[in-house]
Amino acid sequence: MPTFLDHALILIITVGLPSYALFLWHMRLMRSHGSQRGAVRLQTYRLGVIVPWSLTILVALVWFQRGRLAPDIGLGFEPHLRFWTSAAIVAMIMAYASWQRLTIHDDAEAKKEVMEQLGSVEALLPRTPFELQWFFGVSITAGICEEFLYRGFLMWYLEQLTGPVAAVVISSLLFGIGHAYQGSRGMIQTGLVGLALALLYVFSGSLWLPILLHAFIDINSGLLAYDVLRQGNPSRLGTVAPKPPADPWE
């Protein structure tokens, strides 16, 4: 059964992280302008790597220090039929999403639609090759850390208190709420993605495929946004790319 420390960690995951994202870095990013926004965006990317990894390492230390097993938090691997079926589905999703992104590359109308759909997350998305590299790091971090925290630890915690079905539903709702900075539509979409990843976790019996798919979704979305928003895109900023913002961490 969960201990007091587990309760505290869950509170940090479900309340602390969303509050930090919405009221600290997102508000600061939205208040920034011009070249300052690029500098703030890079700082946000770095914090988007450091903070989740710090919390993930803390949860892992607590988990294993208490003698709990890796498979109980989703880190096991059993190559049964359901796992390989899930792997095939994930591969098809990734192939289709990659094909869809590549078809949009030369479609101005489709790019316009993408721009309209970006909404409140546009300021967070990469414009330069350097930002794109950092966005990849954030995406990989989200794939590993969010799956470990939300699908692994949070679902284990909820299952002890409510049962497996409620754990899937509640963890998905909390995952959506955790992305409140994306607005109401973003929360709904993210909650549905969380539900799909939770079902994938349950069906495959492992976090490895949800981690892979989650990281891929974020990377693929970043590449699509970069193609639309990148500095020097003739359709947006003319043929000459502006100088990248100064790096505040150097």
Task: Give the model confidence (pLDDT) of 136-161 as tens digits.
Answer: 999 999 999 999 999 999 999 999 99
* Of 176 and 120, more confident: 176
Q: For 184-210, how does the pLDDT look when each residue is reduced to its tens digit (9 = 90+)?
A: 888 999 999 999 999 999 999 999 999
Calculate the alpha carbon distances from 110 to 69, 87, 117 in Å. Answer: 47, 30, 11
* Of 105 and 16, more confident: 16
- Give Cβ neighbours of residue 185 (< 8 Å, ≥ 6 apart): 119
Q: What is the pTM of this model?
A: 0.89
Q: What's the mean pLDDT in 6-15?
A: 97
pLDDT of amino acid 233: 52
* Of 84 and 25, more confident: 84
Give the length of the chain. 250
| Phi-psi group of 2: left, alpha or beta (phi > 0 → left; psi -120 to 50 → alpha; rest → beta) | beta
pLDDT of amino acid 48: 94
* Of 153 and 114, more confident: 153
Report which secondary-structure segment, H or E, holds 156.
Answer: helix 155-162
Rounded Cα distance, 56 and 135, in Å: 19
